[in-house]
Amino acid sequence: MLKASQYSSKIGMGSVCFLNYDLGFGGTEKVIVSLANYFSSLGRKVTIITLSDRNDFAEFIQPEIEIVCLRINKIKFMPHKLIYFFINNKFDNFISNVWPLTSLSFVVRLFSPKTRLIFIEHCNLSEQFQRRSKLFKFLQKISILFFYKFAHLIIGVSKGVKKDLEVKGVHKDKIQVIYNPVISKPMQEIDISNLVVKSWMRSRNKKLIAVGEFKAQKNFTNLVDAIYFAKFTLDLDLDLLILGDGDEKAYIAKKIKNMGLDKNIFLGGWVDDPLPYFDLADLFVLPSNYEGFGVVIVEAMSRGLNIVSTNCKSGPSEILLDGALGTLCEVNDHEALANAILHGLLHPIESDKLIKRSEDFSEKKIGKLYEDILV
């Protein structure tokens, strides 16, 4: 494999390098792949650096894009490996994703001073780390105050993320809001061999769908409680499909069984592409405690699917125009979520309006905004 420095870009089209933990299926990773493909299609030389070799997007990444794995098990070893890499490779633009990778990327300015350094913060850090110790939060704030000065520009993926960075001491003039781009065309077909998914598809009840990793942030526990409340208090006939995997999946499965909801809630596992599944649903539900943006909301809207979401401090309300294009409810309140589901089913929004709104986040539109900040 050729080194990045051995490539030459088209005149006026500087090379771009992304840094992330890996390319496992996730919102941040999907954004990186989308932008990388877009820049590559314009003729830019694109490289993606990862710390581990997980790559679930291999078949969706354009062949011209170089993937470099540093194989770092502990993040404390990242700076010196990054230094070695930049001694041998030069880029016009370096885009680092997610704290603390962003802070540690200051070494790029030291060993490649002509490189334009851009940080993308994909999450509301205050919400993400609210349960950590005061010492951790203090050290995080110090690292942001010091190391973020090395970046030429910091991208917040929502106004909420920008506001949170300002609270942490980053000057507002250094932060630009650019929403995440979304792929709106299905990449794959439904796996009809998945018996769980087939059971949900055959249901005559109203079909709900949720997508995400089974972890505390996504709060599927609250969604299960909401379905119980909707069924036994609001007397709604609902069937929910959750697509995803994660550490909390076994716990959620046990909770579903114990609550007598195993005929109403289906755990379909992880799928590479949720878009075709959205076409079969009546409502998409996002029960998260926090988000940076909420790519999956836009993906669902791109299929004309109505949305119910918790009103996180960052993301959903901006996408849904403060509830004009979807139903918002309080975070971690299962009764409020159940009533929001009822409202969403009784008062659907025209699909054309949802699809039109999703087009504001197309690869082309968002890609052009990034083109304006690259060299």
* 202: in domain: yes
* Confidence at 8, pLDDT banded by 50, 70, 90: very low
Q: At 223, which CATH number?
A: 3.40.50.2000
The predicted-structure confidence for 69-95, as pLDDT tens digits, reads as follows 988 877 767 777 888 888 888 899 999
Number of domains in the chain: 2
CA distance 8 to 15: 8
Q: Are residues 271 and 170 in the same domain?
A: no
Q: Are residues 230 and 155 in the same domain?
A: no
Q: Are residues 126 and 272 in the same domain?
A: no
The predicted-structure confidence for 43-65, as pLDDT tens digits, reads as follows 999 999 999 998 888 888 999 99
Q: Are residues 40 and 128 in the same domain?
A: yes
* 37: in domain: yes
What whole-number percentage of the chain has pLDDT above 90? Answer: 70
* 233: in domain: yes
Q: Are residues 222 and 336 in the same domain?
A: yes
- Residue 8: CB atoms within 10 A of its CB come to 9
Q: Are residues 139 and 217 in the same domain?
A: no
Q: Are residues 247 and 143 in the same domain?
A: no
Query: Hey, is 68 helix, strand or coil?
Result: strand
DSSP sequence for 335-362? HHHHHHHHHHHHSPPPHHHHHHHHGGGB
The predicted-structure confidence for 129-188, as pLDDT tens digits, reads as follows 887 888 888 888 888 888 899 999 999 999 999 999 999 999 999 999 999 998 766 667
Instruction: Write down the H helix ranges in the chain.
Output: 27-41, 78-88, 101-104, 107-111, 125-128, 134-147, 159-167, 195-201, 220-232, 249-258, 275-278, 295-302, 316-319, 334-346, 351-358, 363-371
| pTM of the predicted model as reported, rounded to 2 decimal places | 0.89
* 286: in domain: yes
Task: Pick the more confident residue, 82 or 12.
Answer: 82
* 141: in domain: yes
One-letter amino acid of 11:
I
* 234: in domain: yes
* 69: in domain: yes
Q: Are residues 329 and 203 in the same domain?
A: yes
DSSP state of 113: T
* Confidence at 110, pLDDT banded by 50, 70, 90: confident
* 183: in domain: no
Residue where a domain stops, chosen among 151, 178, 205: 178
Q: Are residues 155 and 218 in the same domain?
A: no
Q: Give the per-residue pLDDT at 166.
A: 94
Q: Are residues 143 and 39 in the same domain?
A: yes
Torsion 133-138-139-145 (CA) sign: positive
DSSP state of 253: H
Residue with tokens 């919400």: 127
Q: Are residues 153 and 209 in the same domain?
A: no
What whole-number percentage of the chain has pLDDT above 70? Answer: 95
Q: Are residues 52 and 96 in the same domain?
A: yes
Query: Where in the sequence is the domain holding 150, given as residue range(s)?
Result: 4-178
